[in-house]
Structure formats: C-alpha cells, structure tokens
C-alpha cells in the first residue's frame, strides 16, 4: 500500500516542501486557485477475477486505486483513459468541479468504452463569511470512485474495485511516513476477505496515515486495535482545548471517508494488531486485516510470526510479507 | 420547499432582525426564557395517497411539514388540531418540554381523533457549569414528528408523512435565502421516489440552508454533489482554528438531523447537482433528487434542461419546475 | 446501575479528590505513566438464562459489567478469573495495552476455562506533536468486552453479556452523581427487552452520566427524551465558542461508545422520560427504557406512577423500583 502512495506522492510533487500561506486566505478572491495545476493520467483497466482498477500508468491499475494528493488551493487535471469495454467515470468527493467533470451520467460526464476524457478537480482554502465564520475549504481525507458503470450511480464499478483515496492537505499539515487505504466495500476490505486482506506494515514510532472509505450497500464500523485518533479533520488534537471526541471505532458507511495519523505502536509496543469491522458477523465473516508494527529497526517483534500464522491458517514467510508491504 | 419555509418564517417573525445577547447568558437563571413566546396553530390532516401532513393553516398540510424556527431562548406554543380519524401527536427534538408536551402515549400526551391540544416547546441558551464548561443550549437543526399513530412510537404516522424541520437559531447566526428539508424515510425522500423527488432550486451564489432528517427503519448516508460543509452546529467553520471535519457525505439514520448552509454553486458553477443516499442500492432504487443551481440572474444554465430530462425520463417543462421551486 | 458504579468507584479510588496536572503533560515523556496503578480482580461468571457477566467479586457478575474508571495517566491491572467452562477474555477500547493484554486469540491473549490471567491497561495524557498539534490522550467514554468466546471476535461472549463501560477521566473533569450504562446489543438493551429494560432514576437537578455502547450485528440510534448533549469528549461545551454539534439522537453501532452528562430534568421538570433506539422497528420491538426523574426531594412526581404502569402493562410498586434504582 505504501508502494502505491509513494508513486502517487511522487507524481503529484508532494515530496517538495511546500510551506505555508498562514492566514492570508481571507484576502484572496474565492475563485482564484492558490497554487499549481497538477496533470496526471489515470488508466481504468480490467483486472483478473472480474475486478477493475485505476492506475497511474498502463498495466499498473490496483484496488484500491492510487492515493491522490494535492495541496488546498491546487488543481488536479486528470486525463482518464478507459481501456475497458464498459462505460465508466471518476467522481471525487470534497473538491470543486464543474458539471462536465461530475463523473455522472446525469451530466453526460463519463467515458464510453475506449474513450479518453479529462476531468478537472479544483480545491480552495476557506472563505471568510459574515459573523466571523468561514465557508469550509477543501482540506480533508476524501475519495474518488466510478459513477457510471452498471447503473447511473456506478454500482457495478464500485463493487468491482473502481475507488481510491483523495487527500487535500492544508499548508502546515504534518506529512506521514506511511499511508494505508482501507475500503469497506460490502462484506470485503479492498475487495478481499481474510486472510487475503492487506497486511499493513510500519516500524515502531513511524507516523502512519490511515484513510478509511466506505462503499456498497451495508453498514460498517472501523476499529483499530491499540491506537486511537481524534474525530476531526486531521485525527490529531488541534490544541489542548480541542473538544473533539477521541475514538478507536467509527461508522464507515457508503460514501463516507475519514483519515487520521498514528505513531505506530506508540505506548503499546510493536506486534500484530487487528483492524476490522466491529459488526460481529462482518468480522467473523472475514472483514479483518493485520497492522504489523515491527521493531524500530525493522526486525520482527516477538510473537508476530505466530500471530500472522494463526491469522492465515497456513505457513507464510516473513520475507513475502515484506515484499508486499514495502 | 422554499415556499413552505417562507410561510413558516413569516409566521414566526424571523424576518424581524433580532439582535443579540452576546455573552450575557451566564448571569441569567437557567429557567428564565430569554425571549418571546410564538403561538401557532398546526393542522394535522389526511392527504391523498394515504399520507398525512402538518400545516400552518387548514388545507395547507404538506410532507414534510413546515419549517419551524425560533431564536434560542424563545418559546413555541403549538395548538395542534387533529382533523384526522387517527390518534396522533407532535414530538420535538432538541427543545425543552414538560411531560404533558412529550407527545408520547407513555405520558398520555397526544390528540385523540378530532381533538385539539396545546404543546409548549421552550428553548434556552447555554448554561455555565463548573470548570469553564457549559451545558448546551437549544440552538441546532432539529426536527419534529408524530409519536402516537399506529404504535406508541408513531411508526405509522412517521411512515405516512408526519414530520418536519425545527430550527433553533443562536443570536448572530447567519440567515439563509433558501431552505430545503430533506427527509430520508425508509426508502424514500420526503415520501417520494425518483423521478418524483423534490428538485430544489437556487440562483448561483445564494445562501442555501439544507436540513436533513432521518426516519424509519433503514440506514442511510446523505450526499450532495459539488458542495461540502463542516460537521458542526452551523455547517460553517467557527473560525480558522475550528477543527471540525469537513464532509459532503453523512450518516442520516432514524431520529437524527443536521443542517448546513452552502453558497449555491460557489466554486463549481451553476448546473444540475444530485443529492442522494450513497448506499448504492438506495440511490439505484430512487433515493436521489436534484439541486438546480441557476445562473445568477435566474436563467437556466447550459445543459440543465438536458440533465433534468435525463433524470425524469420524459419531457417536462422548465416553467413547471419553477412553479414548484419558488 | 448506580449501585454498580458506586462499587466500581470505590474499588478504583475515584472518591478521593485527585487534582490536577494542568498543562504539564508536554514535558513528560510519553512512556511515563502519570499516576497510580489500580489493581482489581474481575470474575467472569455464568449467569441464569444463558448469560455471562463480569463482576468485581465472586457471585457479583452483572450485565453490563461494572463501570471501570481511571484518571488519564493511570494504569489498571486486571486479574481476570474465568470461572466458566468457556474460553474468554477482556479487551478494552481507548487505552494502551501490549499484545499480551490484547484479549484476542490472534495474540494468544485469553483465559482458558478456569484460568486466571492478568491484563494491563495503561493510559496517558496527550502528547505534543509538531505544528502545535497533539496526539490524543486516553480520556474518553470507552468500553470493554470479551474477544474470545464463540469466535475469535468474542461474538458469543458479547451476545451473552460480557461487556461494560470504561471511563478515562481527564484531571479537572466534572464528576457525576449518577451513572448509567446503556448497551444496545442486537435488538436488546443490556440484554433485556421492554418492559424489563432498566429504569434509571435520579432526582431533579442531579448530574447524571450516561455511557452508551453499541454491540452485536445491527445498526441503532440512541435517543433520550427531553435532554440533549454536545457531541464531543465530555458531552458539555468546552466554552462559548465550542462549535460541537448539540444532539439528542446519535448513531450507536457495534464497537462504538460515547458518554455525556445531563442535569436530570433541567428545564423540563421531573417525570418519566423515555430513552430508546429511534429505528422504528427497534423501539416498537422493545428497545426502550425509562429515565425516572424524581422530584428534588426524591418523591414521585405527578403522573409518574401512571406512566410506569402504562409502560409495564401490569401493576408494579414504586418501592420495588427504588430498590432497583439505588
């Protein structure tokens, strides 16, 4: 998973230290883009097993698709290449777009089979309103998905893997060292069931970002063992007086998304920690995966191998996991 | 929809500029009402198609009922006239009421067929508690509904249309230019299914207030295309440091309500935007409606007619929509 | 319910006034426990009717289990005695624990039948991060439950009563006079259905703390009549500018918990108030209970007896309720 995010980060220029507007947003007109326009090409492709995926290069499609990141104020111009035989589109949450980038059949905004089409997603900082209030900016842990395959709401496209995470960062936000996308989609996680669900990995103390997305037709709650977060924009408290709820379990229903950062194993130590849907029949049915927190030097912590073997119900080498996780 | 809200606004005197207590609430006794008592009569009536509605005049019942608004500190005295042959009541969320205004059979608080009964809803500003904390005041996007028809929880009354929005405003709150009530009630929106769901309308840049209410027996998520809001009391950020989540998709389950204001088409332009339940089988099944953002001068934006026709699946004139929307 | 909480309070030393670190948390290492270690023994026992419970003494198991409380920074060391013939464990939300206190079969952390095992739960205050942000501390309204009976997720243990509330308080938090634990577990409240659901009691004006927990496999919304709270850490506003939503209805889905304090009957007077799931089929099916707010002197308010009798559908004396409630 971190593999894919690094690609995305590189593609979108996040590696460059982009610092920081401060409180200057109020004296810019709302329509002015604060920053740069990033241009990427996304390939929608058929995958084995009846799945479909988005990818940043031909043959690179994955489920979920790549993590897309921009700074608040920037514009993302996406050339979507539909390599499939199905009608499909890409529809974002949280950002600004005209009707022709809506990604919906309602607005005739989709790719026919084999068609290439450009979608423009803009973002902006908060806008001062009257009464010392602000119309919200675009910063957030959002997501994107198909809105045209199967039905006018993209029900078949979503069911078969056409979704991914979209992050709009505010200047000054803390950048993570690792990123994981977790999509609860009907009774699956990233269209997989245990023990084939993703095992995410980090070293003790690394700053890890989780982006959780809900899809499909069933209700879910996302739970992570031994870590917690604030139920606000960043998942961290914005100051000692931030009143936000601190939680380790949150509703994750269709169309919703949230994100947060934790320090891997902070206060609890390394080991194998579960993330799962807390609806009992869902976790029992396979909506569970592993978060492997390695020792700070990257070595396996005591007991981790045994836990992984218990989870998988068959022998599986550590090396193989490393290959998957990095 | 704005039609009904204007009626309500007029009835409750919101047009008058009511300014503003400031931070004086701490030195008033909690039991003292800050302001005026508004007295209205609501008629519960049978409607065609087996529906029931509340209205502010005989023969004026609608589904949902009128938007009721008061200032925090005010009292609303409702004379409920039951013109039907069913036991029914009116039960509010968010405000203060004695057991005899509970609206529940438990407290023998309901109207028998043909009966007239008065319900008193009070509101109050926040109360200072120890430790620099405050017991919450009544300000919020609330709702009201029957609690007596069919079962002791009003299940039949709610299923058949006896519900509406209740807004308690804090002094200083920004007033909207348009108001829409959206009720996800079982598999319907305002007891209608697409393409007969409400088409809400505003001109580009108008300040539009959405009040979303959940009812019935199924889970839902409310999504609005191309607009977003803060997940707090007003839907706007209360300052640059407000840590609230910014969202465009929110759980809308039975008994819950929330509200927010957007500037119609701000940053995205005019056009036809969907609002829908994001549970895929629900949107596919008809839980979707349109938000028509006209040009600033009220004219139809390019492509809007076509989108509306696509949605309706048959020819339908713009003039007819205008008559519905204003 | 207050009966159980008083036991827990006594066991955990909450009666002692433990005051207050203030803003010193930033200069303490994250790994340092701020305070004391509380040591308790919990007995997991079989109960009549196929239920199981946790208790603080042999023969004292209840459903839900005792309310456990610690101050943020303290450690709770639990010796769990499994007196049953089933594999079981105790798994907490919100606090810190090593893999061997995870309570999960994944980490081989459970009690075999008849086995005694120690679980250590630590807590900590918020930690300063870069950018004037803070990694959240442990303070919150959490819960604990079995994670090993029946399935690797404790589905049978939870279904049969192995759950309870866990509160981590921040220095300076306001302490309540009464505490109620409400667990929506499948179609039951505290594994009971109306009219056998708990009737909670308080005198007018008493500070009452509700801890609401969701479990099982169905979705729910928790509604309390005539009282409201802020949707933040404490349920109270942290200042006049706290932007939190104020609500009286909240999603209560499996694995989630929240808590809040109200002043019983404040602004609405004494009487019998319902709390219930607002999913209509659930309330109609028995997910409803009573909150009896007595007069300030403890006497029964007018109409309360009648309401209770209506609820129970049969004669039941006040004295019996008093015995249950205190």
ipTM value, please give it: 0.88
pLDDT for B17 beyond 50: no
Q: How far apart are CA A109 and CA A255, in angstroms?
A: 19
Q: What is the pLDDT of residue A323?
A: 34
**Structure confidence by residue, pLDDT tens digits, B210-257:** 999 999 999 999 999 999 999 999 999 998 889 999 999 999 999 999
pLDDT given for residue B30 in this prediction: 40
Q: What is the pLDDT of residue A316?
A: 36
Tally of residues, chain A: 326
Percent of chain B with pLDDT over 90: 83
Question: B104-133, pLDDT tens digit by residue?
Answer: 999 999 999 999 999 999 999 999 988 789
The predicted model gives C220-235 an average pLDDT of: 98
User: Distance between CA atoms of C142 and C181, rounded to whole angstroms?
Assistant: 11
Query: CB neighbours of C294 closer than 8 A, spacing ≥ 6?
Result: C201, C202, C203, C204, C270, C300, C301, C304
Say whether A242 and B239 touch across the interface (CB within 8 A): no
A277: helix, coil or strand?
A: strand
What value does the mean pLDDT take over residues B152-178?
97
Whether B154 and B145 have beta carbons less than 8 Å apart is answered as yes
Q: What is the pLDDT of residue C34?
A: 56
Quick one: tokens of A71?
């700074």
Residues sharing a CB contact under 8 Å with residue A126, sequence separation 6 or more, in sequence order: A25, A134, A135, A136, A137, B237, B240
Minimum distance, in Å, between the CA of residue B30 and any CA atom of chain A: 24
| Separation CA B51–CA C218 (nearest Å) | 29
Q: What is the mean pLDDT of chain C?
A: 88
List of chain A residues whose C-beta atoms are within 8 Å of the C-beta of residue B243: 230, 232-234, 237-238, 242, 244
* 3 state SS of A218: coil
CA distance A37 to A26: 21
Neighbours of chain C (3+ CB pairs under 8 A): A, B
Chain A interface includes C159 (CB < 8 A) = yes
List pLDDT tens digits, range A282-315: 999 999 999 999 999 999 999 999 999 999 985 3
Structure tokens at A325: 């996780």
- When mean pLDDT is compared across A9-18, B242-251, C237-246, the lowest value belongs to A9-18
Confidence check: pLDDT of B147 > 70: yes
Burial of A186 (0-12, 13-18, 19+ CB in 10 A): middle
CB atoms within 10 A of CB C309: 12
Q: Which of C255, C259, C282 to mutate to test the interface with A (most CBs of A within 10 A)?
A: C255
pLDDT in the model for residue A85: 98
Mean pLDDT of C303-322: 70
Mutate to test the interface with A, among C129, C136, C213, C232 (most CBs of A within 10 A): C136
The helix (H) or strand (E) run that includes residue B134 is strand B134-135
Least confident residue range of A35-39, B204-208, C66-70, C313-317: C313-317
Q: What is the 3-state secondary structure of chain C?
A: CHHHHHHHHHHHCCCCCCCCCCCHHHHCCCCCCCCCEEEEEEEEEECHHHCEEEECCCCCCECCCCCEEEECCCEEEEEEEECCCCCECCEECCCECCHHHCCCHHHCCCECCCCEEEEEEECCCCEECCCCCEECCCCEEEEEECCCCCCCCCHHHHHCCCEEEEEEECCCCCCCCEEEEEEEECCEECCECCCCCCEEEEECCCEEEEEEEEECCCCCEEEECCCCEECCCCCCECCCCCCCCEECEEECCCCCEEEEEEECCCCCCCEEEEEEECCHHHHHCCCEEEEEEECCCCCCCCCHHHHHHHHHCCCCCHHHHHHHHC
Nearest to C134 among A236, A251, A266 (CB): A236
- Asked if B171 has any chain A CB less than 8 Å from its own CB, the reply is no
Contact B51/B160 with Cβ under 8 angstroms? yes
Considering only A43-57, A179-193, B6-20, which range has the smallest mean pLDDT?
B6-20
Mean pLDDT rounded to a whole number for chain B: 88
Residue of chain C whose alpha carbon sits nearest to that of A171: C131
Distances (CA, A) of B281 to A153, A156, B287: 9, 11, 9
Please tell me the distance from the alpha carbon of residue C284 to that of residue B148, in angstroms, as a whole number.
12
Subunit contact B136:C230, Cβ cutoff 8 A: yes
CA distance B149 to chain A (A): 29
Among chain A residues, CA nearest to C156 = A280
User: Which of chain B's residues have a Cβ under 8 Å away from the Cβ of C249?
Assistant: 93, 255-257
Whether the bond between A234 and the residue before it is cis, its omega within 30 degrees of 0, is no
pLDDT single digits (tens) C258-292: 999 999 999 999 999 999 999 999 999 999 999 99
- pLDDT tier at A13, thresholds 50, 70, 90: very low
Residues of A in contact with C145 (CB under 8 A): none
Choose between B31 and C50: higher pLDDT: C50
Residue with the bigger pLDDT between C321 and C179: it is C179
Residue A287, token pair as written in the block: 């909506």
Given a cut of 50, whether residue A2 has pLDDT beyond it is: no
Chain C CA closest to residue B120: C268
- The pLDDT value recorded for residue A325 is 34
Q: What is the DSSP letter of B138?
A: S
**Statement: residue C324 has pLDDT above 50:** no
What is the rounded average pLDDT for all residues in chain A?
88
For residue C32, pLDDT beyond 60: no
Chains near A with 3+ CB pairs less than 8 A apart are B, C
Banded model confidence at residue C35, pLDDT cuts 50, 70, 90: confident
Residue ranges of A 46-105 with Cβ closer than 8 A to chain B: 93-94, 96-100, 102, 104-105
pLDDT at B16 over 50: no
Is residue C176 scored above 50 in pLDDT? yes
pLDDT of A38: 96
pLDDT higher than threshold 50 for residue B73: yes
């Amino acid at each position: 998973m971190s593999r894919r995010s690094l690609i995305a980060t590189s593609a979108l220029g996040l590696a460059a230290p982009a610092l920081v507007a401060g409180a200057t947003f109020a004296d810019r007109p709302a329509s002015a883009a604060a920053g740069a326009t990033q241009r990427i090409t996304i390939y929608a492709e058929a995958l084995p097993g009846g799945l479909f995926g988005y990818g940043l290069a031909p043959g690179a499609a994955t489920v979920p698709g790549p993590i897309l990141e921009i700074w608040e104020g920037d514009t993302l111009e996406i050339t979507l290449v539909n390599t499939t035989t199905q009608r499909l589109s890409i529809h974002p949450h949280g950002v600004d777009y005209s009707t022709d980038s809506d990604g919906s059949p309602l607005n005739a905004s989709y790719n026919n089979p084999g068609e290439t089409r450009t979608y423009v997603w803009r973002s902006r900082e908060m806008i001062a309103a009257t009464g010392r209030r602000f119309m919200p900016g675009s910063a957030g842990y959002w997501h994107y998905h198909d809105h045209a395959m199967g039905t006018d709401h993209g029900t078949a496209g979503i069911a078969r893997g056409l979704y991914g995470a979209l992050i709009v960062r505010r200047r000054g936000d803390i950048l993570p060292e690792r990123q994981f996308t977790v999509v609860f989609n009907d009774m699956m996680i990233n269209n997989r069931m245990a023990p084939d669900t993703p095992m995410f990995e980090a070293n003790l103390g690394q700053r890890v970002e989780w982006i959780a997305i809900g899809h499909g037709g069933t209700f879910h709650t996302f739970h992570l063992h031994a870590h917690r977060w604030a139920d606000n924009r960043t998942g961290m408290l914005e100051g000692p007086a931030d009143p936000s709820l601190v939680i380790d379990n949150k509703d994750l229903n269709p169309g919703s998304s949230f994100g947060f950062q934790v320090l891997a194993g902070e206060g609890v130590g390394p080991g194998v920690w579960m993330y799962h849907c807390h609806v009992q029949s869902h976790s029992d049915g396979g909506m569970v995966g592993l978060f492997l927190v390695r020792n700070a030097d990257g070595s396996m912590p005591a007991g981790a191998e045994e836990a992984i073997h218990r989870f998988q119900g068959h022998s599986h080498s550590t090396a193989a996991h490393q290959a998957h996780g990095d």
